[in-house]
Amino acid sequence: MSARRRILTLAVVGVAAVLVGVGLFRPAGRSIAAGGTGPRLGQAAPLFESTDLTGQPVALADFRGRPVLMNFWASWCGPCRMAAPHVVQTARDLAGRAVVLKVDTERFPGLASQYNVRSIPNFAVFSRGQLQFQQAGLVDAITMESWLTRAA
């Protein structure tokens, strides 16, 4: 194989890996929660308790009545860092109408496992105590806001 053809092949494989990694390529109609041991869509969400950045206790049950976006992320994850400003914008735009939580998968691996998180960033939307939607991959604030609006 010529050097040029080898480089082109590597570039195509690299682009495909990026598309899979950011969630732009996956079987249609599938969500991360559709298989495995995590909660299924429409089922009651497993409850959790943790602390916020100020050390105050936080529980998923505290937010019943408002849609919740849970962002699973890690500091070493490039797409997670790219999603961060969009997550902040979503929280700011929907303040008082929805809740946005960030879950560090390195600090809370058990919680990530409980929600069947296999790749990050991973976004789970809850409403009325049930998992409504879950998707891995980089998305913008407009997409996140539309998820929460539909879940309200």
41 and 15 housed in the same domain: no
Residues 84, 116, single domain; the answer is: yes
Q: Based on the domain organization, do 9 and 74 belong to the same domain? A: no
Specify the DSSP element, H or E, that contains 86. helix 78-93
CATH number (domain holding residue 94):
3.40.30.10
pTM greater than 0.75 (yes/no): no
Both 74 and 136 in one domain: the answer is yes
Q: Contact, 25 vs 19, CB < 8 A? A: yes
- In the chain, how many domains are there? 2
In this structure, the answer to whether residues 70 and 86 fall within a common structural domain is yes
Active site residue 77: yes
Contacts of 104 (CB under 8 A, 6+ apart): 73, 74, 75
Identify whether residues 35 and 21 lie together within a single domain: no
Q: What is the pLDDT of residues 52-78, one digit of tens each?
A: 656 677 777 788 789 999 999 999 999
Express each pLDDT in 65-123 by its tens digit. 899 999 999 999 999 999 999 999 999 999 989 989 899 999 989 989 988 999 999 99
| Same domain membership, residue 81 and residue 12 | no
* Catalytic entry in 60, 80, 87, 148: 80
Q: Which of 22, 45, 60, 77 is catalytic?
A: 77
User: Is 70 an active-site residue?
Assistant: no
